[in-house]
Amino acid sequence: MLIIAPLGLQGKTDPTMNITPRPREISLEKGSFNIKGAGFNHAGSFEGRTVDAIAELADDISAATGKTCSVAGAAGVDRNTDAAILKGVFFLTDSSMEPENYKIVITKKGMKITAPDHNGFYYAIQTLRQMLPVGNYKAVASTGSWSLPCGTFSDGPRFPYRGMHMDPCRHFWSVEETKRYIDVMAMYKLNRLHWHLTDDQGWRVEIKRYPGLTEVGAFRKGTMIGRNFQSSDGRRYGGYYTQDQIREIVDYAWTRGITIIPEVDLPGHMVAALATYPWLGCTGGPYDVWTIWGVSKDVLCAGKESTFVFLEEVMDEICELFPSKYIHIGGDECPKDRWEKCPDCQALIKEMGFTTDGKGTKEQKLQNYVTFRMQDYLAEKGRKIIGWDEILEGEPSPGATVMSWRGAGGGIDAANRGFDVIMTPNDYMYFDYYQAKDGEGEPLGIGGFVPLDKVYGFDPCEGISPDMQKHILGVQANLWTEYIATPSHLEYMLLPRMLALAEVQWCSEGNRDYGRFTADLKAHQERILDLLGYNYRK
């Protein structure tokens, strides 16, 4: 048997081995298995979505090769059956494996794929697709060998949370555009879509209890032109997702192993809601949905009980729409100017006994109060909160998960204090930043510089004591869309950096090598991304 360690494949351009993210272990033997016309079999406890994924692969190979691959259940076969005696392709449940892991054993006669859950099987299928001619992605005739090398592929992720963020508030993305975004995430084994659904520039989710949020809050009177904050194009802009569309997208992602985590950003970034219901603010307005980018001083009034009634009723519907155990409540960029002068907010501060001390200002403690109340309310529904790292200001409530965006420092501090953390530092993981130094040759953007190699080099656990690294749930990249108005621009900013992100999320430190990755990446760009029509930075 020839054992090939991942780093030993550096520079290899054979498309059967350009797998991204790189599997944990690949052991190759002599010989190959031709998958054309093979029977696909599944045995064990399988979800319907898993059977559908198996059938889709079989159908795509059939269409691309002209030879039918049948799909059927398999009696008398289980995970202990020796792969050497199996003829055809067998998917077998192995509940003893770690979540999302998979193992592929290929012999000259057939193939055995074992996994404990849907995601494990789905990721095994993605690995197989990358090893086959590209026609399998679009079910079109394709040249190339349909033979897979004999050997064993043992694989599983480093982190359980492997996220990508999408912002439809600054610029709105249709259902089909959102699905296309999900598709490329699924191809590279990401499993969380952080969906930023509310902001100053637009409210994007239908809430039946408050119809004005989408009748008024989903549309702005114009959009600033370029970097001119005193300008507006004067064109009404906006859109929103109906609850039926939300359910459609949630289900679409779920079949592809992706959980959607919704974000309702509070108590700041709420001007779209204030424009609809001015009583939610400290001054009573009037307010307009923002037409510019940046941070507004107008935020939710934390001193009124009616504000919490509103938030709780919104969250009731959010929880009905999204089965995710996590709900993101924002918490970032909440100026305290209005609270400092608001009689209602100051009365609540006095009632609660908040004072300015070494643990924070009294207004920061008021924001903690908002966070605590939402955390407690969502906990009653069996949900947990995620908040941006500003929730660390004051005294954060135990059980909150911190999303560290202002560099890695907030995440390091949170993890060392025992809070669960998702690392998304802007200096490594903000995909709205330029991919060329000084933005040379790039479309207009917000600024910053995050090239491909910098994304790839991020170490999520650096600076965290070994016994606290267990609190790093994973890594996410954010793609804010202030200056991104078209699908082609969105994809250009996403790709190919998302493939580097996938390896940071999936691979152990010892299984990452930038030279090997760039060789693999070239194959993915020229074969898969081109075939599927994705726009990417070349």
Query: Residue 199 catalytic?
Result: yes
Q: How far apart are CA 313 and CA 326, in angstroms?
A: 17
For 113, phi then psi, to 5°, come to -115, 120
The number of C-alpha atoms within 13 Å of 304 and in the hemisphere containing its C-beta is 18
In the residue annotation, 395 being an active-site residue is answered as: no
CA distance 402 to 326: 12
**Identity at 147, one-letter amino acid code:** S
Element (H, E) at 346: helix 343-352
DSSP 8-state assignment for residue 212: H
Q: Are 112 and 104 in contact (CB under 8 A)?
A: yes
- The CA-atom distances, in angstroms, between 305 and each of 31, 352, 396, 412 are 70, 14, 21, 35
Cis peptide before 160 (omega within 30 of 0): no
Going by C-alpha positions, the residue among 91, 100, 139 that lies closest to residue 118 is 100
Closest CA to 344 of 416, 279, 282: 282
Give the CA diameter of the chain.
78
Residue 504 one-letter amino acid = V
Q: How far apart are CA 355 and CA 361, in angstroms?
A: 7
State whether the Cα torsion 517-519-521-527 is positive or negative.
negative
Q: 286 preceded by cis ω (within 30°)?
A: yes
Burial class (CB in 10 A: 0-12, 13-18, 19+), 305: exposed
Strand partners, 266: 330
Please state, in angstroms and rounded to a whole number, the distance separating the CA atoms of residues 45 and 224: 54
Active-site annotation holds for 269: yes
* Listed residue (175, 178, 154) closest to 165, CA to CA: 178
Nearest CA to 19 out of 151, 107, 114 is that of 151
Contact 260, 252 (CB under 8 A): no
Annotated catalytic residue, options 183, 313, 317, 333: 333
Q: How many CB atoms lie within 10 A of CB 470?
A: 11
| 3-state SS, residue 352 | helix
- Dist. CA 458–CA 115, nearest whole Å: 29
- Catalytic residue, chosen from 94, 117, 199, 389, is 199
Q: Which of 118, 171, 194, 269 is catalytic?
A: 269
- Rounded Cα distance, 64 and 14, in Å: 20
Half-sphere exposure of 386 (CA within 13 A, CB side): 28
Sheet holding 147-155, edge to edge: 2-4, 25-34, 147-155, 102-106, 110-115, 88-93, 40-43, 71-73
Residue 246, H or E segment? helix 243-255
The residues that are catalytic are: 199, 269, 333
